[in-house]
A = this chain, B = another copy of it.
């Protein structure tokens, strides 16, 4: 099975492409103009041109091999459009139009009918009632949402609007995605199939799923069991509470089910369970790092408070503070000031400079009792100092030691940290701003190491 036609089609038709800026078909066609891996054709029954590009009355008129059709026509035209796509030989349809399964039984029936038509032609449908699909690696933005930042997380959302909200949020926060799929009503293609496809792609390092309800939970878990041996799958499930579950089932029309049952099944399938949106994003960002061989965390910091909060946060996630070797402690003692705390968390105190970060990170990474490292930096309190040198120190230590232990940054100084964050992320070290986010990332690394068998359950 390949879904390449959803992510890198040779040609795309936007059926319902529009010149009216108030229509979704306007945004979708505009967003697709930068597409790099193929051609994009507007289909519009009335206009000769759409946004300056020659338009076709029908998808069948396009003199090209259209692999993907983005359908954004009014509901009453959807059925005919699907038929046209079938006759044209389209492979994949992104059906943005809403008003089907989410509105009741009649809509569900109509939805099934569309899928039957599509299958008759060997086509697959994503949607209906979705925001579309993005692939940031070839600038394919087949949605009416702003471009996501390029990254290596594949994110599939059952709520189109929340998915869009998350893209807007992550653009602001500098978090990137490789792919974004708004999966809509899942009348045809569902989470399982995308998960399977994404298991073998090059540019997706982690798979993040926002789920409200599953249609075929058993199959999902079966697929997840296979996929999580290859790639981390992180799930944020809405409807954890009873009232949330009731709301979810009325929203998507799918059964939300008891969260306890879901959670147990997720964990058994090797899925990493997130509690919040930021949890999910923090976890998914961790996988630029190697996997830990154990769950003993060393924390280094230039301020005691954040070290303590981070120790609390890793404890909440079931991880442990590493007991440092005597040799490590002596090594730290040899150059850190007397006021520094040389036990884990190592508090290098406010005077710490880049060189202290380098030497401390090196000693901690070399300690056999340390499985991973969280390097914290708050605003350096010495005038003229910026956190950039601290970040550079960490990067230098990681490169030198090079023993495959994961390192996470926790740079907590707003604007002041931004250049430092860039230094870390350029070196593949994800940098967080909140203790709980760094702890979530460390937890995710441990969980995936377990799913892959790199780390035994009870280590």
Contact = CB atoms under 8 A, between A and B. Distances in A.
Contacts of A413: 164-165, 168-169
A360 interface: no
Nearest to A309: B238
A305 B435 contact: no
A434 B378 CA distance: 23
A380 to B, nearest CB: 9
A242 interface: yes
A311 B247 contact: yes
Interface stretch (A215-223, A225-233, A338-346, A394-402): A338-346
A250 B378 contact: no
Nearest to A306: B162
Interface string A287-324: 00000000000000011111111011101100011000
Interface stretch (A16-24, A362-370, A451-459): A16-24
Contact of A145 (B305, B307, B379): B379
Nearest to A102: B339
B161 A378 contact: yes
A379 B278 contact: no
A248 interface: yes
Contact of A339 (B98, B278, B381): B98
A114 to B, nearest CB: 18
A27 B305 contact: no
A347 B311 CA distance: 39
A210 B305 contact: yes
Contacts of A381: 24, 131, 144-145, 160-161, 164
5 contacts: A144-B381, A161-B306, A164-B379, A239-B312, A243-B312
Interface of A: 21-24, 26-27, 98-99, 102-103, 131, 144-145, 157-165, 168-173, 210, 212, 238-244, 247-248, 250-252, 276-278, 302-309, 311-313, 315-316, 320-321, 338-339, 341, 343-345, 347, 350, 378-379, 381-384, 412-417, 433-436
Given A244-B308, A248-B308, A250-B347, 10 more contacts: A22-B382, A102-B339, A162-B306, A162-B309, A165-B378, A169-B412, A171-B415, A238-B312, A248-B304, A252-B304
